[in-house]
Amino acid sequence: MTNKRMNVLAMAIIGLGVTPVWAQTSPAAETMDHAQHQGLPSPDAVQPPAAQDAMPAMDHSGMKPEKTQTAVEMPGMDHGNPSAPQQGTAAMDHGEMNMQGGAAPPDARDPHAYSGGYTLDSGKYALPGPRQLRLADEHSFGSLLVDRLERVDTREGNAIAYEAQAWFGRNYDRLVIKAEGDYDKGKLQEARTELLWGHAIATFWDTQLGVRYDSGVGPDRGWLAFGVQGLAPYWFEVDAAAYVGDNGRTAFRLGAEYELLLTQKLVLQPRLEINAYGKSDEALGIGSGLSDGVAGLRLRYEFTRQFAPYIGVERVEKFGKTADLARAAGEKTDETRWVAGVRFWF
């Protein structure tokens, strides 16, 4: 008898422990919890299916919205069919509307003329004497750049080379002088001097028209010159020119430089120059076609932007018929030069 009571008591305890688990995991409890969380009415508030079936069906097809006291009824407007054209309303033509206020009055001042007809040189507001207010492009400036003034060492000896450019004028028009040459063995070996008129055609480009004069060992030559000079994309400095001389002579010259800033004061400058001629000139040892080229590399240190010593190396080579003439005269067609010099401008 005692054992039976103990078994009944144990089963009751086990049943009490299992009952809360069933209550937590029942589908009804989950439905109740999500309905309250989403703001939906609880299942107790929903009418049973029997009550819903008892409600008569409602026909909404014959219902029309009632007019309120604040509604304004427009004649000819059919609210039942919004797509139907409305009667009694005036059509608006927006094409005739002028948003700028119409035409200017006949006595309006010309916006492109000076104010009130006065200028800087005339009228009651003009200052006596010459004009004192001038724009930057109304002033004349000048500059001199000595790009190369160097000593050149080769196996044959040494020489002095120079290249300079000076200009004077304004932003759009200026006078330009270019000079380049070699001085060796106590005399000028070859020199090129150009006198040009430069005109700006773009922000970084000038056209140049003028004359060129070649002098040195051998006969002198004169040329008409036309070229362009400026700053190409990616900061390449370009100087290109075509020349026309006497007896049908023509020539072309192209020079390019680039400045690579290793530091704020240490600058590496590659340089390239080529020359071509349309006609042979045996007196000067020049053959037709591509004549010669120079490729150099200079490293300079800028104590200031206006003054910088440098060292470098360059390779000089002659091509085509010019090389043939050099071999016939017992001269070298190529050589390596070591250079050291100074670059300055003001």
What CA–CA distance (Å, rounded) separates 54 from 51? 5
Residue 99, pLDDT score? 52
Query: What is the DSSP track for 249-312?
Result: -EEEEEEEEE-EESSSSEEEEEEEEEEEESS-BGGGTB-SEEEEEEEEEEEEE-SBTTEEEEEE
CB 200 within 8 A of CB 206: yes
The whole-model pTM stands at: 0.64
Report d(CA 301, CA 285) in Å as an integer: 37
Window from 94-98, 179-183, 205-209, 271-275 with minimum mean pLDDT: 94-98
Residue 133 has pLDDT above 90, yes or no: no
Residues 153-164: pLDDT tens digits?
998 889 999 999
**What integer is the mean pLDDT of 78-94?**
50
pLDDT digits (tens, 9 = 90+) for 19-54: 444 444 444 444 444 444 444 444 444 444 444 444
CATH class name, domain 201-345: mainly beta
The region, left, alpha or beta by phi > 0 then psi within -120 to 50, assigned to residue 4 is alpha
How far is the C-alpha of 10 from the C-alpha of 100, rounded, in Å? Answer: 97
More confident residue, 7 or 21: 7
Tell me what the mean pLDDT of segment 266-281 comes to.
Answer: 97
- Tokens 């063995």 found at: 185
Whether 253 and 316 have beta carbons less than 8 Å apart is answered as no
For 188, the enclosing helix (H) or strand (E) is strand 187-202
